[in-house]
């Protein structure tokens, strides 16, 4: 699938982050000419250094708030497709740094949109936001792309603003206007996979506790999230980028999440990680935070199915198995570049098999 990307010039913002690194690596394996623009990694360890991505692609360290440097990268590289993943991505951090969160997620996004518009080579732009951009009523309801945007916390609302910004920017400057590119937004659920060490995320917290031989402490064990392996939404982004390259029909917001039967509680994911790791125990602790955390959030993915022909291929158990496999190998000092490539190739085979099995 994705042979389209061979020799295409791709710019990824946020390529040092968890999802950005996986996307850059995948595009590299597809033969794309990839340039990344992002801040230096802010965790140790991190996926970016674990797989040695810096030696595989053209990597530029910079802030999307620095529009002069950002525009220079666009002008020098002349990308054809942009995947915008650079963000302040943490809910809890947004409580501590609300101004930085809005500056990065709103003003930074505007900077990238503008840099792309000034660069005539750009034909397609995928702005990656989040499932948390919706006004969450915390009911047993899967949000559709037509539902109201909102966000209780500063991170979520900043991403809703990024969605609104993208729509208004598309109406004002793009939509087939001369020199414009096709712009879409991608709203993904909770992603898991190897190489994430960000603070206050379930899987990294579980792995850190297991490595230290400590109990895994859960603040909200019954909270429900749309878990999916990181390669699932990335395959959707790749499909979307290709479609946008040739048509404005796909210039819209699209959800990427798991099938409804793969939406599970936090406690299920944590216990499955323990079972696969071979040791560890759960401990529920009182949540004394004043910070709001949603109890339930799910997505409707019918638009991605009908418009792109995309749907997830991993069950939640398979997603967790691939995640734990990656971390186990990392702590056994395995070659993580080779393992990461192997996981991508395995996912491609499963994705191709599922696509080939669909009736014409």
Contact indicator for 328, 194 with CB cutoff of 8 Å = no
For residue 253, tell me if it sits in a domain: yes
CATH of the domain at 63: 3.40.50.720
For residue 187, tell me if it sits in a domain: yes
More confident site: 137 or 337: 337
Domain, as residue range, for 232:
3-353
For residue 360, tell me if it sits in a domain: no
For residue 358, tell me if it sits in a domain: no
Distance CA 107, CA 103 (A): 5
More confident site: 273 or 1: 273
- Is it the case that residue 241 has pLDDT exceeding 60? yes
What integer is the mean pLDDT of 226-250? Answer: 96
Q: What percent of the chain has pLDDT over 70?
A: 96
Q: Which residue from 311, 221, 326 is spatially nearest to 267, judged by alpha carbons?
A: 221
Beta strands in 144-276 (DSSP E): 182-188, 191-192, 216-218, 224-225, 228-229, 253-256, 264-265
What integer is the mean pLDDT of 47-52? Answer: 98
For residue 238, tell me if it sits in a domain: yes
Instruction: State phi, psi for 287 to the nearest 5 degrees.
Output: -90, 100
More confident site: 288 or 194: 194
- Is it the case that residue 126 has pLDDT exceeding 60? yes
What integer is the mean pLDDT of 13-19? Answer: 98
Confidence of residue 360 (pLDDT cuts 50, 70, 90): very low
For residue 325, tell me if it sits in a domain: yes
Tell me the per-residue pLDDT of 308-354, one tens digit each, with 9 for 90 and over: 999 999 999 999 999 999 999 999 999 999 999 999 999 999 998 87
Average predicted confidence (pLDDT) for the chain: 94
- Is it the case that residue 359 has pLDDT exceeding 80? no
Q: What pTM was estimated for this model as a whole?
A: 0.96
Distance CA 293, CA 153 (A): 9
Distance CA 21, CA 191 (A): 13
- Partner residues linked to 280 by β-bridges: none
The predicted pLDDT at position 139 comes to 86
Tell me the per-residue pLDDT of 65-119, one tens digit each, with 9 for 90 and over: 999 999 999 999 999 999 999 999 999 999 999 999 999 999 999 999 999 999 9
For residue 201, tell me if it sits in a domain: yes
In this structure, the chain runs to a length of: 360
- Is it the case that residue 357 has pLDDT exceeding 70? no
Count: domains in the chain: 1
Tell me the per-residue pLDDT of 258-295, one tens digit each, with 9 for 90 and over: 999 889 999 999 999 999 999 999 999 887 666 777 77
Name the residue with tokens 């909270």.
223
What integer is the mean pLDDT of 19-39? Answer: 98
For residue 359, tell me if it sits in a domain: no
């Amino acid at each position: 699938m994705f042979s389209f990307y061979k020799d295409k010039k791709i710019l990824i913002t946020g390529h040092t982050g968890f999802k950005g690194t996986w996307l850059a690596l995948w595009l590299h394996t597809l033969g794309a000419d990839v340039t990344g623009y992002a801040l230096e990694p802010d965790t140790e360890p991190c996926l970016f250094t674990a797989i040695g991505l810096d030696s595989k692609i053209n990597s530029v360290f910079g802030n999307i708030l620095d529009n002069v440097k950002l525009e220079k990268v666009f002008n020098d590289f002349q990308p054809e497709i942009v995947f915008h993943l650079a963000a302040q991505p943490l809910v809890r951090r947004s409580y501590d740094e609300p101004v930085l969160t809005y500056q990065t997620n709103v003003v930074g996004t505007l900077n990238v949109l503008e840099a792309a518009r000034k660069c005539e080579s750009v034909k397609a732009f995928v702005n990656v936001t989040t499932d948390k951009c919706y006004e969450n009523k915390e009911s047993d309801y899967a949000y559709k792309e037509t539902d109201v945007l909102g966000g209780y916390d500063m991170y979520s609302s900043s991403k809703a603003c990024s969605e609104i910004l993208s729509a208004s920017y598309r109406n004002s400057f793009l939509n087939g206007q001369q020199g414009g590119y096709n712009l879409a937004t991608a709203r993904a659920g909770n992603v898991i996979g190897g190489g994430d060490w960000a603070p206050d995320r379930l899987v990294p917290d579980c792995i850190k506790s297991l490595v230290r031989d400590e109990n895994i402490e859960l603040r909200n064990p019954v909270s429900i999230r749309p878990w999916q392996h990181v390669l699932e939404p990335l395959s959707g982004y790749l499909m979307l980028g290709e479609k946008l390259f040739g048509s404005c029909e796909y210039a819209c917001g699209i959800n990427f999440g798991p099938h409804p039967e793969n939406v599970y509680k936090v406690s299920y994911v944590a216990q499955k990680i323990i079972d696969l790791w071979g040791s560890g125990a759960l401990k529920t602790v009182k949540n004394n935070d004043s910070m709001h955390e949603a109890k339930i959030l799910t997505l409707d993915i019918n638009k991605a199915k009908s418009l792109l022909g995309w749907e997830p291929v991993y069950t939640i158990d398979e997603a967790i198995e691939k995640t734990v496999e990656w971390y186990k190998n990392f702590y056994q000092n395995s070659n993580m570049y080779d393992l990461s490539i192997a996981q991508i190739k395995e996912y491609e085979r499963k994705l191709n098999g599922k696509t080939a099995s669909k009736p014409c």
